[in-house]
Amino acid sequence: MSKTANVAVVGATGAVGETMLAILAERRFPIGKLHVLASERSAGGTVEFRGDDLIVQDLATFDPTGVDIALFSAGGSVSKEYAPKFAAAGAVVIDNSSAFRYDDDVPLVVSEVNPEQVKHRPRGIIANPNCSTMQMLVALAPLHRKAGITRINVATYQSVSGAGRSALEELGRQTGALLNFQDPQPKRFPVQIAFNLIPHIDDFLDNGYTKEEMKLVWETRKILGDDSIQVNPTAVRVPVFYGHSEAVNVETKQKLSVAEVKALLETAPGVEVVDEPRAGGYPTPVTHASGTDPVYVGRIREDFSHPNAINLWIVSDNIRKGAALNAVQIAELVVSET
Ligand SMILES: NC(=O)c1ccc[n+]([C@@H]2O[C@H](COP(=O)([O-])OP(=O)(O)OC[C@H]3O[C@@H](n4cnc5c(N)ncnc54)[C@H](OP(=O)(O)O)[C@@H]3O)[C@@H](O)[C@H]2O)c1
């Protein structure tokens, strides 16, 4: 990288924002000035960056003039209001919310899958996909290029960190309460999450699916550039702190053998194959994904009920590759433009 960029992290006190700061530091992103922004609630407090305490500024009163790259992770309504203001002031906005993902003039980018789309940003806004779509497509894009995916059946097992800091706190609090024979008192989730599974993430839609499930449909088609791909998702919240898992069944036009799938995935950027048929020879959120960058793939096997289908188990850290890491990778692509 040849130059430095002035960076603003919007939502810097949140689960994603704090990981963005850590990843910017780890990857030695070439930062000129760094602004850390949140709501009035957190303004005046500090967040840590490369060993220094940075003062959090109030987004509502911040002047975006001079910001080159703005990483937004403060929710959809904040992005809708402020991202266009940052873009109008000359910043490239990389947005983690779903506010702009389905707009035709906003690219939706997974850095390993469609990095070329970063350049097509007429509004100065680039959208970061939803965490479940992100990890699924890092693994499936190489299969799609080779054999043409026609249909995906996916069940997700999504950690609580995907719902932000308050959800992490709720799992911890409920676990402690239940182990002490106390009432778990659900607040952030509609029912108890500790020692439970909840087949409901985001709002229910008229077709019976949830919005989280439909994001997998809409975003897969947009990122792979193929509206004919059929996706049938079920999204489930599980009592895991960090790391989403997905049981995926993929149907392809051409048949793929297990050996071919392994060979494709072993050379795919961002993917690590962990697939041995023995106890522990597969990825899990705790043993592999939590706090690490790769998308892990295991349990690769042919679907014996179908002539052209493969089963995969895909696991990744939803806060890193699922959000913060991909946003920083997009920022790296932007800053490396001449
Ligand atoms: N977690 C994931 O896996 C994930 C994955 C992909 C995308 N995302 C998206 O990333 C965004 C943030 O997620 P998160 O998990 O980091 O949530 P979070 O832990 O709840 O953090 C929310 C952040 O947004 C800030 N914020 C809230 N309202 C604001 C306002 N009016 N003005 C300025 N800042 C405001 C908060 O600041 P205060 O400290 O001032 O409240 C905090 O820094 C959401 O859009 C989410 O959908 C999350």
142-145-147-153 Cα dihedral, nearest 10 degrees: 60
Helical (H) or strand (E) element with 214: helix 211-224
Which of 64, 73, 1, 2 is CA-nearest to residue 33?
64
Q: Does residue 13 sit in helix, strand or coil?
A: coil
Quote the ligand 1 centre to 162 CA distance (angstroms): 10
**Amino acid letter, residue 336:** S
Q: Which residues of 146-161 are buried (b: 16+ CB within 10 A; e: fewer)?
A: ebebbbbbbbbbbbbb
Altogether, the residues listed in the chain come to a count of 338
Q: In the structure, which protein residues have their CB atom closer than 6 angstroms to any atom of ligand 1? A: 11-17, 38-39, 41-42, 59, 73-76, 78, 96-97, 131, 161-162, 164-165, 318-319, 322-323
**Residue 191 in marked binding region:** no
**Amino acid letter, residue 275:** D
Which of 178, 180, 216, 213 is CA-nearest to residue 195?
178
Query: Which residue in this structure is represented by tokens 């899990």?
Result: 284
119-159 pLDDT tens trace: 999 999 999 999 999 999 999 999 999 999 999 999 999 99
Distance of CA 141 to the CA centre of its chain: 16
**CATH code of domain 133-318:** 3.30.360.10
Give the model's pLDDT for residue 338: 65
d(CA 82, CA 324): 19
Per-residue DSSP letter, 133? H
Closest residue CA from atom 31 of ligand 1: 39
Of 9, 10, 39, best ligand 1 pocket probe by most atoms within 8 Å of the beta carbon? 39
Q: Find all residues with CB under 8 Å of 151, minimum gap 6, and list them.
A: 229, 230, 231, 232, 250, 251
Q: Find all residues with CB under 8 Å of 284, minimum gap 6, and list them.
A: 243, 245, 315
Quote the ligand 1 centre to 13 CA distance (angstroms): 8
Half-sphere exposure of 322 (CA within 13 A, CB side): 31
User: What are the residue boundaries of the structural domains of the chain, listed by start?
Assistant: 5-129+323-335, 133-318
The answer, as to whether pTM is greater than 0.95, is: yes
- Please report, for the chain, how many H helices and E strands are present, in that order: 7, 13
Q: Find all residues with CB under 8 Å of 57, minimum gap 6, and list them.
A: 35, 36, 37, 38, 43
Check if the beta carbon of residue 91 is closer than 8 Å to that of residue 67.
yes
Give the model's pLDDT for residue 1: 44
Check if the beta carbon of residue 311 is closer than 8 Å to that of residue 112.
no
Name all contacts of 226-231 with Cβ < 8 Å and 24+ positions apart: 226/144, 226/149, 228/150, 229/144, 229/149, 229/150, 229/151, 229/152, 230/150, 230/151, 230/152, 231/151, 231/152, 231/154
d(CA 284, CA 275): 11
Looking at the CA of residue 168, tell me the nearest atom of ligand 1: 19
Superfamily grouping for domain 5-129+323-335:
NAD(P)-binding Rossmann-like Domain (3.40.50.720)
**Residue 159 in marked binding region:** no
Query: Which residue in this structure is represented by tokens 């959809």?
Result: 76
Q: What is the pLDDT along the chain (338 residues), one digit of tens a residue?
A: 458 999 999 999 999 999 999 999 999 999 999 999 999 999 999 999 999 999 999 999 999 999 999 999 999 999 999 999 999 999 999 999 999 999 999 999 999 999 999 999 999 999 999 999 999 999 999 999 999 999 999 999 999 999 999 999 999 999 999 999 999 999 999 999 999 999 999 999 999 999 999 999 999 999 999 999 999 999 999 999 999 999 999 999 999 999 999 999 999 999 999 999 999 999 999 999 999 999 999 999 999 999 999 999 999 999 999 999 999 999 999 999 96
Give the model's pLDDT for residue 3: 81
